[in-house]
Amino acid sequence: MDFKYIDYSDFFYQTTNKTATPLERTGKFVQLTNETTEFVIFSPKEFTAYHADILVIFCKQQGIAHTHNAADKYLEIVDTGWEIIGGGTWKIEEKGKLLVLWGFSQAYGKFNPEGLKEKLTTVGNLTGFTIQIDGK
C-alpha cells in the first residue's frame, strides 16, 4: 500500500496568513485509507480546530463525496472504499528535527501507530527527524 503525508502548514501560514511557517508548531492529524493508499494529514491548530475540519478540506481537494455535520463536528465519507482510521495531535520542532505524535480524535478514535514511524521516515522533508509516537 502506498503512503502519502500531507501537511497543511505551509498553505495555512504562507498562503492564508502571509507569514513564514514557524519552525515549531502543533496541530491535529487524521489517518485514513482507500484501496491503494494510506494518508496521514497534518494541520496546524490555528487552521483546523477539529479533526473533521481536516477531512472537509481533504475531501473537497480530492473530490471525495462526504457529509459534514458541523454542529456535531463530524464528517462521514460517502465514497466507498475509504476508511477513517483515527486521529491525534502532533508537534514538530524543525531545528531539533523532532516530530511527536500522540492522543486521539474524539470523533474518530485513536490513530494506528503500527508502522507509522517507519512510513514517516520515508517522507522527504522528515528525513533525519526523530519521530516519537506516544512518547516512545
pLDDT of 67-124, one tens digit each? 998 888 899 999 999 999 999 999 999 999 999 999 999 999 999 999 999 999 999 8
Query: Where are the chain's structural domains?
Result: 2-133
Note whether 100 and 27 are within 8 A (CB). Answer: no
At 92, is the secondary structure helix, strand, or coil?
strand
How high is the pLDDT of residue 130? 96
Closest-CA residue to 95 (of 34, 36, 22, 45): 22
Q: Residue 136 above 80 pLDDT?
A: no
CATH superfamily membership of 2-133: Janus/Ocnus (3.50.20.20)
Q: What's the pLDDT tens digit per position in 19-33?
A: 999 999 999 999 999
Cell of 115: 508502522
Instruction: Output the CA torsion 63→69→74→77 (10° steps).
Output: -30
pTM listed for this prediction? 0.94
Helices marked H in 1-136: 9-10, 51-62, 116-120
pLDDT attached to residue 135: 65
